[in-house]
Amino acid sequence: MFDHPDFDGHEGVHFFSDPTSGLQAIIAGHNTRFGPGGGGTRLWSYATPKDAITDALRLSRAMSYKNAMAGLKLGGGKGVIIRPEGDFDRTALFQAYGRAVQAVGGRYITAEDVGVSPDDMRIIKTQTDFVAGLDDGPAASGDPSPVTADGVFRSIKVAVRHATGRESIEGLRVAVQGLGHVGYGLCEHLHAAGAHLIVTDINKVVLDRAKTELGAIIVEPDVIHAVDADVFAPCALGGAVSEASLPEIKAKIIVGAANNQLASVEMGEACRQRGILYAPDYIVNAGGIINVAAEVSGSYDPNWVKSKLDALEITLKNIFMLAEERSEPTNLVADQMARERLKI
């Protein structure tokens, strides 16, 4: 573990197994300088256990950066559950996972991520209090996805303004990869603002809905990055910007909700060399954890959430300006700022 390429001084990496429910999970805590590790739990079918470990390490580090840059009283943590093969008892699985979260002793607070819903959070809640993203309770705020989508939409406007000088995104073509809760919410914002949508997903039902409700053009998943668009918005899993995909990307702006969009750190400089403005993902998608932080505080305040989203826009603008002044890639500028705040 200590020589894993994505191990970055993580404070703790916890492995959990429950043969009865089929649970195999990893909870990674990266840095708790500003508070307990806050970050969602992901349920995914990983090709190998090593891939799950890599995901947990990378995502927890990104959460440290995200929470520090958003000015939250949370550290960086992430949970991943290896999806059991075949049919499984979802209630039993998430009860076992709740016990795992409880065993970490408050150093990690979970919420939703890919493959996990507010219903799953309620099951986890039966086993531990270290959970957010609930839709009942005195400070409950429900699914944080709409707030994440709002933050991504705001970030697209900031990026468009910086790259083109345009104050409006009306008429722009935006290619959205992934129509989950966040991706579809983003599309609704974009449609309302007059953007033209090109979308993809593996779910035909949601694609039909996007075509009917939002007038979206549907393309296959393996070509979404290469369509003729002004903005590419990766909102599925990570690695959308890679050595293979980058030469085919026509958009000059990349702003999306997915975590770890760059397949490697070097892809940030590769984007810069191609004249592509990349908005660092953990800045762009911080809306969800901002919403969770408001819930964790014990007194949910929508005005506080809005103020943090406003600050997100300013942070992203400053990153763009600094990167331009220094002739450096935006991802490295953001990383440096985050590590300075974390003093690591």
Distance CA 285, CA 334 (A): 14
86 in the Ramachandran plot: left (φ > 0), alpha (ψ -120 to 50) or beta?
Answer: left
Q: Active site includes 78?
A: yes
Q: How far is CA 46 from CA 42, 81, 258, in A?
A: 11, 9, 17
Among 342, 179, 185, 162, CA closest to 254: 162
- Name the phi and psi angles at 98, rounded to 5: -60, -40
Residue 79: strand, helix, or coil? strand
Distance CA 206, CA 190 (A): 16
- Name the phi and psi angles at 280, rounded to 5: -50, 125
Which position among 66, 78, 157, 308 bears the catalytic label?
78
Residues 6+ apart with CB under 8 A from 183: 149, 176, 177, 199, 201, 233, 235, 236, 257
Spatial contact of 173 and 167, defined as CB atoms under 8 Å apart: no
Structure tokens at 166: 């345009």
Active site residues: 78
